[in-house]
Amino acid sequence: MAQDDKEKSAPDRRRSKRVKHRLKLRFWDEDINGRGFTHDISVTGLLIETTSAVPIGARLHIEVELPEERRYLTEVSVVRKKVIPREAHSVFKPALGVRLVGLREAIRDAGSAAQTQDGATDDGTLRIDLSGRAALQEVYDRDIKHGALRVSTPHIPAADEVVSVTVVLPEPNAAIEVVGTVVSRLPELPGFGMLVEDCDMIRARMLEILRG
């Protein structure tokens, strides 16, 4: 009764060993906001059980809930989907096959220098350069709107550590300090994901600039 979508991309040739593991997750982009569970996991991708309608080729941000209240944030590309008639959902689960997106690919597709200019300065201060409006819009849509922030740096703090990140905004706006708690490592950047404190204030400040 299950039917795999016939449209599959080349990266879907699954060579990596897959391990069955059920973890709760959420995923989103500008138009999609869904939830689901992992069915199996490999070093290159995931199979996600979800009833959300997502097209092949969609680029999604994913947050996976890990044990001990940890979270893993990453970016994926949908490479296949399993379509199940609604009346059979209680027996068979619709699913998405997704591929983890590498840093070089994310930078190329974003067309933004935001990632390459992030990181730790010589004195160890964490910094993200959002001086371009396109970079600011991208990070707002991808992270801040959802209460999170991804930071690219080779010096990854420990989980649950509270950190402060200097965010450079478009001129003539002054830089702001974003404080949050480290919740996940992002080896593909390399870097980490953090949950932002006072996120309502940060959202309001960025929206004011984007709408100005």
The per-residue pLDDT for 49 is 93
Class assignment of domain 3-101?
mainly beta
Length of the chain: 212
Tokens standing for 151?
């930071």
SS3 track for 11-76: HHCCCCCCEECCCEEEEECCCCEEEEEEEEECCCEEEEECCCCCCCCCEEEEEEEEHHHEEEEEEE
More confident residue, 172 or 4: 172
Name beta bridge partners: 45. Answer: 99
Q: Give CATH 2.40.10.220 domain extents, the chain.
A: 3-101, 109-211
138, 176 Cβ separation under 8 angstroms: no
pLDDT for 104 beyond 50: no
Greatest Cα pair distance, the chain, in angstroms, is 59
| Global model pTM greater than 0.75 | no
In this structure, of 51-60, 82-91, 155-164, the range with the lowest mean pLDDT score is: 82-91
Return the ∠ at Cα 76 (arms to 111 and 155), rounded to 5°: 75
Run of H or E residues at 106: helix 103-110
CATH of domain 109-211: 2.40.10.220
- Edge-to-edge strands, sheet with 126-129: 119-120, 126-129, 162-168, 176-186, 191-196, 148-152
pLDDT, tens only, 153-195: 888 888 888 888 889 999 998 888 888 888 888 877 788 899 9
CA distance 35 to 149: 19
* Identity of residue 133: R
Backbone angles phi, psi at 24, to 5 degrees: -75, 145
